[in-house]
């Protein structure tokens, strides 16, 4: 399945996720990122790291780390 | 879907250390309870208090201002105002300053903005340039930290503040702890408590950290859920500092071993109690012979840096 991920302050990326039942934390880790450092949203809804992702999902990653 | 441990609704947060999940309503309740507990436990505020919140316009400080404004509606003796220090970092501070002013106007908060350029004589970018011209070490985060702390204390006092609240969260505090241990600055650990300024210096404004026991991710989620998450901008100097690497290291550790951050905070609090509590303020008990501000040395760090940059004479 394919999931589109956009990091706030960065670019959007299409990510190929292999296998069913994959979770938000898997997407973040597949991107080489840390779950500690992002809040993940689907539309206006905040997801937990354990929520499942589905084919065609558009996820927005809000950085937790302040840049200053 | 993950369900809230309290009411069974859709969760927005899983606390790694306990494994409990919380919906929006119960996360916000938990957050509020934690911060209020910190305020009570360490006696951060009294019944009558003129609170000045140090703000940058970033999510942490806007979240703290939001939290204290809401809380102040229930505490009659509190007045809450804000102070923003404009270091003069092009492409960065003007964005966060705009976000802050928008928030302040929406909430009707009284505030003051003090700039490095007006108060010190040079903006941070100009200091970096002047330092380079004079062959000084490249230390933007040192200039920024020293002059920001100096101005926060000085201007908050001029505003009549009885206490200065900063948005340092658990992550910030343990990063500073690890940094100080690594560079053998153990004497500075006593300043990492939730409250500093027990020192009796008439010019020292006590400083408190109400977000001391909440994680950076929890503060960010509080900001997102309250629609106060500002534009995302990053300080151009941020990634150059040691802190950036330490933060990444601690976050990687937490990812593998849940609860590491809380344990590290407990370790810090134990050390603070062993070395005698937070008796010292940022400045220390002496008075700088050049500017008259609180200082740990005969000449304060701000004046030492000013001399190096040729802004004042010894």
pLDDT tens string B182-212 = 988 887 888 899 998 656 788 999 999 999 9
Q: Which residues form the domain of A50?
A: 2-63
**Is the predicted pLDDT of residue B57 greater than 60, yes or no?**
yes
DSSP result, B162-182: SEEE----HHHHHHHHHHHHH
Q: What is the pLDDT confidence band of residue A2, given thresholds at 50, 70 and 90? A: confident
Is B57 part of the contact surface with chain A (CB cutoff 8 Å)? no
Is B254 part of the contact surface with chain A (CB cutoff 8 Å)? yes
- Find out whether B259 and B170 touch, Cβ atoms under 8 Å: no
Q: What pLDDT does residue B199 have?
A: 62
Of the candidate ranges B121-125, B203-207, B263-267, B295-299, the one whose mean pLDDT is the lowest: B295-299
Q: What pLDDT does residue B284 have?
A: 55
Q: Which H/E stretch holds residue A61?
A: strand A58-63
d(CA B312, CA B128): 17
Q: Which H/E stretch holds residue B61?
A: helix B59-72
- Cβ neighbour number for residue A34 with a 10 Å cutoff: 17
Question: In total, how many domains does chain A have?
Answer: 1
Residue A52 lies in a domain: yes
Among partner residues B11, B229, B255, which is closest to A35 by beta-carbon distance?
Answer: B255
pLDDT tens, B210-226?
999 999 999 999 999 99
Q: What pLDDT does residue B198 have?
A: 54
To test the contact with chain B by mutation, choose from A21, A35, A36, A40 the residue with the greatest count of B C-beta atoms within 10 A, namely A36
Of the candidate ranges B35-49, B128-142, B274-288, the one whose mean pLDDT is the lowest: B274-288
Contact A66 B24 (CB under 8 A): no
Domain positions in chain B are: 1-41, 44-308
To test the contact with chain A by mutation, choose from B255, B258, B260, B264 the residue with the greatest count of A C-beta atoms within 10 A, namely B255
Contact B255 A36 (CB under 8 A): yes
CB neighbour class for A33 (10 Å; exposed up to 12, middle 13-18, buried from 19): middle
User: How much of chain B exceeds pLDDT 90, in percent?
Assistant: 71
Is B20 part of the contact surface with chain A (CB cutoff 8 Å)? no
Q: What pLDDT does residue B114 have?
A: 96
Among partner residues B56, B235, B251, which is closest to A37 by beta-carbon distance?
Answer: B251
User: How much of chain B exceeds pLDDT 70, in percent?
Assistant: 95
Q: What is the pLDDT confidence band of residue B277, given thresholds at 50, 70 and 90? A: low
Mean predicted confidence (pLDDT) in A9-28: 82
Mean predicted confidence (pLDDT) in B59-69: 96
pLDDT tens, B239-265?
777 888 999 999 999 999 999 999 999
Q: Phi and psi of A4, rounded to 5°?
A: -100, 130
The most confident of the ranges A56-60, B8-12, B272-276 is: B8-12
Of the candidate ranges B18-22, B116-120, B195-199, B279-283, the one whose mean pLDDT is the lowest: B279-283
Higher local confidence (pLDDT), B132 or B191: B132
Distance from CA of B214 to the nearest CA of A (A): 13
Mean predicted confidence (pLDDT) in A25-29: 91
Q: What is the pLDDT confidence band of residue B296, given thresholds at 50, 70 and 90? A: confident
Q: Phi and psi of B10, rounded to 5°?
A: -60, 130
**Is the predicted pLDDT of residue B275 greater than 70, yes or no?**
yes
Q: What pLDDT does residue B58 have?
A: 86
Q: Domain containing A26 — which CATH number?
A: 3.10.20.30
Residue A10 lies in a domain: yes
Strands (E), chain B: 13-14, 21-22, 49-55, 78-86, 111-115, 163-165, 195-196, 207-208, 286-287, 294-295
- Find out whether B174 and B270 touch, Cβ atoms under 8 Å: no
d(CA B194, CA B132): 36
Mean pLDDT of the residues in chain B? 91
**Is the predicted pLDDT of residue B281 greater than 50, yes or no?**
no
Distance from CA of B24 to the nearest CA of A (A): 9
Higher local confidence (pLDDT), A3 or A12: A3
**Is the predicted pLDDT of residue B47 greater than 60, yes or no?**
yes
**Is the predicted pLDDT of residue B236 greater than 80, yes or no?**
no
Mean predicted confidence (pLDDT) in B297-305: 93
Residue A32 lies in a domain: yes
Long-range contacts of B141-150 (CB under 8 A, 24+ apart): B141/B237, B141/B240, B141/B241, B141/B243, B142/B305, B143/B305, B144/B87, B144/B89, B144/B237, B146/B301, B146/B302, B146/B305, B147/B87, B147/B116, B147/B120, B147/B302, B147/B305, B148/B85, B148/B87, B149/B282, B150/B293, B150/B300, B150/B301, B150/B302
Q: Which residue of A has its CA nearest to B234?
A: A67
**Is the predicted pLDDT of residue B77 greater than 50, yes or no?**
yes
- Cβ neighbour number for residue B207 with a 10 Å cutoff: 26
Distance from CA of A63 to the nearest CA of B (A): 8
CATH number of B44-308: 3.40.50.620
Residue A68 lies in a domain: no
Q: What is the pLDDT confidence band of residue A52, given thresholds at 50, 70 and 90? A: very high
Quote the tokens at residue B16. 């790694």
B 214-253 residues inside an 8 A Cβ radius of A: 216-217, 220-221, 224-225, 229, 232-235, 238, 247-248, 251-252
d(CA B164, CA B83): 9
Beta-carbon contacts of B192 under 8 Å, excluding residues fewer than 6 positions away, are B173, B176, B177, B180, B268, B272, B278
């Amino acid at each position: 399945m394919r999931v589109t991920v956009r990091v706030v302050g960065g670019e959007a990326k299409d990510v190929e996720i292999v296998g069913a039942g994959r979770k938000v934390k898997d997407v973040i880790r597949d991107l080489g990122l840390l779950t500690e450092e992002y809040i993940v949203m689907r539309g206006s809804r905040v997801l937990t790291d354990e929520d499942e992702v589905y084919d065609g999902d558009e996820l927005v990653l809000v950085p937790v780390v302040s840049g200053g | 879907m993950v369900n809230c441990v309290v009411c069974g609704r859709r969760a927005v947060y899983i606390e790694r250390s306990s494994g409990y999940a919380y919906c929006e309503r119960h996360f916000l309740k938990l957050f509020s309870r934690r911060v209020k507990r910190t305020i009570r436990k360490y006696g951060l505020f009294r019944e009558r208090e003129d609170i000045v919140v140090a703000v940058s316009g970033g999510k942490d400080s806007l979240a703290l201002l939001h939290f204290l404004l809401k809380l102040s509606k229930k505490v009659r003796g509190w007045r809450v105002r804000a102070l923003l220090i404009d270091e003069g970092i092009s492409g960065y501070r003007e964005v966060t300053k705009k976000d802050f002013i928008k928030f302040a106007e929406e909430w009707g908060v009284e505030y003051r903005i003090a700039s490095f350029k007006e108060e010190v004589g040079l903006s941070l970018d100009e200091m970096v340039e002047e330092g380079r011209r004079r062959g000084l070490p490249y230390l933007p985060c040192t200039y920024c930290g020293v002059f920001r702390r100096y101005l926060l204390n000085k201007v908050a006092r001029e505003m009549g503040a009885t206490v200065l609240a900063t948005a340092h969260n658990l992550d910030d505090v343990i990063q500073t702890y690890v940094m100080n241990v690594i560079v053998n600055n153990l004497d500075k650990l006593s300043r990492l408590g939730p409250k500093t300024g027990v020192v009796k210096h008439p010019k020292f404004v006590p400083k408190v950290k109400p977000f001391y026991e909440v994680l950076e991710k929890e503060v960010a989620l509080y900001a997102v859920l309250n629609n106060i998450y500002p534009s995302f901008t990053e300080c151009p100097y941020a990634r150059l500092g040691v802190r950036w690497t330490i933060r990444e290291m601690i976050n990687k550790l937490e990812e593998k071993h849940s609860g590491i951050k809380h344990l590290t905070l407990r370790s810090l609090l134990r050390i603070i109690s062993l070395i005698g509590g937070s008796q010292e303020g940022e400045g220390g008990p002496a008075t700088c012979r050049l500017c008259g501000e609180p200082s740990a040395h005969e000449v304060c760090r701000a004046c030492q840096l000013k001399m190096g940059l040729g802004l004042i004479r010894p």
